[in-house]
Amino acid sequence: MNTILWIAQVLLAIVFVNSGVNKSTLSEQKLVAKGQTGVAGYSAPVIKFIGVSELAGTVGIIVPWWLQIAPVLTPITAVCFAAIMLLAAPIHYRRREPQNVAINSVIFLLSVFVAWGRFASLCNV
């Protein structure tokens, strides 16, 4: 189970580092052109804040559990990723983007799985 959780954590880190770098460095127009349509209509500072938050999350999903320094931060990060997906999915739904809603749903489920698995591991220690 630990290996599966690590795979899920790495997948989440890859997804959010990509999204975070893009949102931190690209304009709204370039993001929309790349398929990150959920940012359309938001101000540049809000988009940058989301990007930096996603980058911080990529550290939180891996490093605390790996180093066993405040490991509770890893499942908390997974809960935050799930919350981001809960906020993103309705935006894409209203824009009639079923593929993005499906991607949000998969990332949500992966995040919930990591949160559940890592919280359970903490309780069994």
Q: What does the domain layout of the chain look like in residue ranges?
A: 2-124
Confidence band (pLDDT; 50, 70, 90) for 118? Answer: very high
Residue 125 has pLDDT above 80, yes or no: no
Query: What is residue 37's predicted lDDT score, i.e. its pLDDT?
Result: 86
Residue 7: alpha-carbon gap to chain centroid? 15
Distance CA 116, CA 125 (A): 15
Residue 123 has pLDDT above 80, yes or no: yes
Distance CA 54, CA 48 (A): 10
Distance CA 57, CA 74 (A): 9
Confidence band (pLDDT; 50, 70, 90) for 99? Answer: very high
Question: What percentage of the chain reaches a pLDDT higher than 90?
Answer: 86
